[in-house]
Amino acid sequence: MDEHAPRLYAHIVQIVQNHEDADDILQEVFIKVWKNLEKFRGEAQLYTWLFKIAHNETLGFLRRKKISRWVPFHPDHARTKAADEKPDYEKAEKEFFKALEKLPPRQRLVFHYRHFNQMSYAEISRITGLSEGALKASYHHAFKKLEQALKAVF
C-alpha cells in the first residue's frame, strides 16, 4: 500500500476532482485488492493489476454519481503561437474542459492514461481489455479534437 497508494491516489483525484471521494475510492480499491489477492497471477506487473482495479472503481464511482468532469488542465501543456505572447490560461482551461467533456468516454479515458499518466498502450490494453490499435486510434482522435479546441485560444 505504501508503495502504490500515492500514485493510485493521484490518478483517482485527477479524475474525480475531490479529495474525499478519491480517499473513499482508494480505500475501496485496497479492500478489493485484499479480497482478491489470491487472483493475482503475476502475468502483469502488480501496479498494472492495481491500476486496473482503481480504473474500474473510479469508473463505477463516476457512473453512480454521474460525474462527467475529468482531468485537470495543466498550463505547462499549452503551446503559444509565439514565445513572447502570454497565453490566457483561464480561457484555455475552460476550452480544454469543454472539449474534454465532449470526447466519447473511450477517447477521454485513453487520453487521460497516455497523456497524464504516461502509460504505454500495452499497459492501457491490460487495464481496459482493448487492443493497442484501438487505443492508438482513440488517442489520436482525442488529441486532434483537443488540439482543435485549443487552437482557437492560442
Helices and strands counted in the chain (H then E): 7, 0
Task: Please give the CATH topology (third level) of the domain spanning 5-65.
Answer: Rna Polymerase Sigma Factor; Chain: A (1.10.1740)
Look up the CATH number of domain 75-151: 1.10.10.10
pTM given for the model: 0.52
pLDDT in tens, the chain (154 residues): 788 888 888 888 877 778 888 899 999 999 998 898 888 777 667 878 888 888 888 888 877 776 444 444 444 444 444 445 555 667 777 777 788 778 888 888 888 888 777 888 998 898 888 899 999 999 999 988 888 887 776 6
